[in-house]
Chain A
Amino acid sequence: MTTSVERTSTAEIAALSFTARERWVLLVASAWLVIGLQLDAYAHATTPELETFWTPWHGVLYSGIAASGFTLLWIMRSRLPGVPTYRSLLALPNALRIPLAGMAFLLVGGGVDTLWHNVFGIERDMEIFVSPSHEFIILGMVLVAMGPALMLATGPSPRLGLGGAFLVGISTLFAVLPVHIYSLHASSIGFRHLGSGADPVPIFSPDAQLIHGYVFSTILLLLPFIIIGRRWPLPIGLPSILVAIIAVLMHLMFDSQDAWWPALTVAAAAVVIELVLRVVTPLVRLSANAGWIVFGLVAPPAMWGAVLLVGKLETGSTGFNIHMVTGLLTLTALTGAATVLVARSVQHLPE
């Protein structure tokens, strides 16, 4: 169920490859960085009066930035000529250039963020999610975190072993988690899962926002698997584990005071959907692309349908009428198929 779009020759692959040590060290450093930033953001969000420097969160954050920055320098070292130039930096392989760009975004975003706070004050609530400097910081985190997976993708291996699956899984998790968090205002795995019960639903309303949340979360949950699936056959369990961990972490961070059924339903649905697809796919003769499109059509409405069903059982209502429920599930199916079509059609730019 994969079609590689790699067009690189064996010799080029050898020249571009990264060692296992480089990949794993960057994985640890980037995970350290993202965890530090998330811990710090969580601490500040939950403890408004927290204005001290000597906190464990700052310790993890600052040391994580240092670890990531110097790890990237260490990896870069052997790939630059004796007299390095800016051009030679830009000519580094994408798998290194992208996390380096991420580090630049992170550092520039950090500097600009402090200036922003000095000039305009500290953002609150929705302002946090539309702050330009925060967007730079999030983008930086994402690009640094995807480095290890990109480095593994430059290698010649057509399949992911256990270690490779673990590395790609962790790298992907830390690359997408900040985006899930930063799109909390348009997420169906944050703190809203069901409608408010309004009938009819106003066009501009929290219910309408939740519909967009389902669409956005569908794209964000699907995209990593499609991209990984373009390079390697998806390791068994990787999709469901990634969805489950993200759902549980999002609930833990933003909704831990409320019932756990939404996160646990998403996690269980992911496992069941993957299991069913693994069993059924070999029995149906479909091309790789057709298989992916079917996956995109079926998986999202199955998952969100399960959430709405359990929600009805738990609370007595989905909060939406029949128009909204059927329309929502159809929309997520179309969104899934469109995500597959777009993500699998993107090709390398001509050199």
Chain B
Amino acid sequence: MLFVRALGWLGAVSFVRALGWLVSVWFVRALGRLGAVLLVSGVALAGAAGPADAHAGGLTATDSRGRVVTVTPAVPGLDVVAIEDGARLRLRNGTTGPVTVVAGGGSATPAVVAPGDELTWIDERATPDGRAVPAGEVVPWTVPLDANGTSVLVTGELVGEQGPAPALWWAAAALTGVAVFLLARRLRRADLLLAAAGLVAAAASIGHVAGSTMAVESAPPAGTFLSAAGINLLAWPLLIGGAVTALRGRAAGVLAVCAGAALTAVFVLPDVTSFHRAVLPFAGPAVLERLLVVLALGLGAGVAVAGAGVLRGLAHQAAEQGRP
């Protein structure tokens, strides 16, 4: 553990020094301390148990929404509900005997829930993930239980919902990227444009991750947020720190913004499924989630591409003024 902590500290030192060149001194010092704390505590915490599913709770965009319809026969104290739009089932055993989820629902089954306990699991018989359900159609499902010797059947349904028009959302993302690129070619202070666009991309990315985290009921929010953020934990400091530095007139900040923007565009790619599917793992209107993805993807890609010309122009200006 001491060795791991030492490695974490070493990584943190590299983090601080690299960023020191990219962003202003006060920002670096603050971020350096934060980075050191994050890295060391992150490595330390990694050894402790505290389950949180990877990739924002392991939820994905789907075509349908699931719900429990009936539990037959009704057993006093036995409660089964669908959570996270039907992605998972939650069983509360308030009876005096064990309740068994019968095998057949994937790696989580069979499972035995002791009296007074609770189980949250993904059951392949009930989850909408990976199931194609046309809009307006209802697909029934059943999950068998054994409640202390009594056979119980949980029945539910997946209700297909109308998906978006993918072409429109893809076009919006493409137009956003192209707009940044064209504006950067026409504006005299394109570095400021890239800094501003980078900040908006960072805000969109943070909003998207936060909304995805809040949609998860089955895991603690802190770990879920971190797992959903992933490499964005590197991209956001680059975007924000780089933008601050660029706004202060230092060209190195623009390069940091471009690097962060490229990472943001790449790491929002898994969520372009929101352009194609109806039910999104997001705590808010689906249209807002799609807008956030459009901004993160379009602005991220646009800034990364436009950065080449903008930095070339800044270097040319510096050369004309006799600066290295």
Q: Chain A residues in contact with chain B, CB under 8 A?
A: 25, 28-29, 32, 48-49, 51-56, 58-60, 62-67, 69-74, 76-77, 81-88, 107-108, 110-112, 114-115, 117-119, 121
A83-B315, A85-B315, A121-B130 given; A111·B324 CB < 8 A: no
Cα–Cα distance between A15 and B111 once the two chains are bound (Å): 64
Interface string of B267-278 (1 = CB under 8 A from A): 101111100000
**Structural contact, B52 and A52, CB atoms closer than 8 A:** yes
B60 at the interface (CB under 8 A from A): yes
* Sample (26) of A-B pairs whose CB atoms are under 8 Å apart: A28-B10, A29-B14, A54-B49, A54-B52, A59-B4, A59-B45, A60-B4, A63-B46, A70-B14, A70-B17, A73-B22, A74-B17, A74-B21, A77-B18, A82-B323, A83-B311, A83-B318, A84-B251, A86-B307, A86-B311, A111-B266, A112-B266, A114-B55, A115-B272, A117-B270, A118-B60
> How many whole Å from B168's CB to the nearest CB in chain A?
19
Among residues 285 to 324 in chain B, which have CB atoms less than 8 Å away from a CB atom of chain A? Answer: 307-308, 311-312, 314-315, 318, 323-324
Flag if B10 contacts A110 (CB, 8 Å): no
Complex CA distance for A193 and B226, rounded to whole angstroms: 43
Is B104 close to A, CB under 8 A? no
Query: Counting CB contacts under 8 A, is B113 at the interface?
Result: no
- Name which of A52, A54, A115 has the most chain B CB atoms within 10 A of its CB: A54
User: Which residues in A have their C-beta under 8 angstroms from that of B46?
Assistant: 54-56, 58-60, 63
Check: B58 CB closer than 8 A to any chain A CB: yes
Chain B interface, DSSP helix/strand/loop, else mixed: helix
Is A67 within 8 A of B7, CB to CB? yes
Question: Of the candidates B11, B22, B53, B269, which one forms a contact with A111 in the assembled complex, judged by CB atoms under 8 Å apart?
Answer: B269
Q: B234 to chain A: which residues have CB within 8 Å?
A: 65-66, 69
| A-chain residues with CB within 8 Å of residue B19 when the two chains form the complex | 70, 73
Q: Which residues of B contact A32 (CB under 8 A)?
A: 7, 11
B49 contacts across to A, CB distance below 8 A:
54
Given A29-B11, A59-B45, A60-B43, the answer on whether A114 and B270 have CB atoms closer than 8 Å is: yes
- 18 more A-B residue pairs beyond the given contacts A29-B11, A83-B311, with a C-beta to C-beta distance below 8 A: A32-B11, A59-B43, A70-B15, A70-B19, A72-B18, A73-B14, A77-B21, A83-B314, A84-B315, A85-B308, A85-B314, A107-B231, A107-B263, A111-B267, A111-B270, A114-B269, A115-B273, A119-B273
| A65 contacts across to B, CB distance below 8 A | 231, 234
Closest to A110 in B: B231
Cα(A84)–Cα(B11), bound, Å: 24
What is the bound-complex CA distance between A196 and B58, given in angstroms? 42
Nearest CB of B to A133, in Å: 10
Q: How many chain-B residues does the 8 Å CB contact rule pick out?
A: 60
Q: What separation, in Å, do the CA atoms of A85 and B223 have in the docked complex?
A: 37
A66 lies within 8 A of B39 (CB): yes
| B184 contacts A by Cβ under 8 Å | no
Known: A48-B107, A111-B266. A63 touches B14 (CB 8 A): no
**Which single residue of chain A is at the shortest CB-CB distance from B53?**
A51
Q: Please encode chain B, from 32 to 69, with 1 for each CB lying within 8 Å of some chain A CB and 0 for all others.
A: 00000001001101111111111100101100000000
Q: How far is the CA of A297 from the CA of B54 in the complex (A)?
A: 49
Instruction: Kindly identify which residue among A58, A67, A117 contacts B14, using a CB–CB cutoff of 8 Å.
Output: A67
Judged by a CB distance under 8 angstroms, whether B198 is at the interface is no
CA distance A131 to B107 in the complex (A): 23
Q: How far is the CB of B106 from chain A (nearest CB, A)?
A: 9
- Contact (Cβ within 8 A) B54 A51: yes
Assembled-state Cα–Cα distance A117/B269 (Å): 12
- Among all A-B residue pairs, the 8 with the closest Cβ atoms: A59-B46, A67-B11, A73-B18, A114-B270, A53-B227, A111-B266, A115-B270, A70-B15
A121 to B131, CA, bound (A): 12
Contact A85 B54 (CB under 8 A): no
Q: A52-B53, A67-B14 are in contact. Are A84 and B255 (CB under 8 A)?
A: yes
* Residues of A close to B22: CB separation below 8 A: 73
Which residues does chain B contribute within 8 Å of A82, judged by CB atoms? 251-252, 318, 323-324
Chain B residues within an 8 Å CB radius of A110: 230-231, 267
A56 to B3, CA, bound (A): 13
In the assembled complex, which residues on chain A have CB atoms less than 8 Å from the CB atom of B18?
A: 70-74, 76-77
B182 interfacial by beta-carbon distance below 8 Å: no
Chain A CB within 8 A of B86 CB: no
Smallest Cβ-Cβ distance to A66: which chain B residue:
B11
Question: Measured between alpha carbons, how far is A54 from B11 in the docked complex, in Å?
Answer: 19
Given A81-B315, A115-B269: A71 touches B14 (CB 8 Å cut-off): yes
Instruction: Give Cα A55–Cα B50 distance, bound, in whole angstroms.
Output: 9
A66 cross-chain contacts in B, Cβ below 8 A: 11, 15, 39, 233-234
- Which residue of chain B has the shortest Cβ distance to A53 in the bound complex? B227
- Given known pairs A70-B19, A83-B311, A87-B312, the reply for A118 and B54 (CB within 8 Å) is no
Among B11, B226, B307, B312, point to the contact of A63 (Cβ < 8 A): B11
Residues on the A chain within 8 Å of B102, using CB: none
Interface pair A52/B270, CB less than 8 Å apart: no
B108 interface residue, CB < 8 Å from A? yes
Distance A62 CA – B10 CA, assembled complex (angstroms): 14
Instruction: Name the distance in Å between B189's Cβ and chain A's nearest Cβ.
Output: 15
Task: Assess whether B8 is interfacial by the CB under 8 Å rule.
Answer: yes
Q: How far is the CA of A115 from the CA of B307 in the complex (A)?
A: 25
CB of B46, distance to nearest CB on chain A (Å) = 2
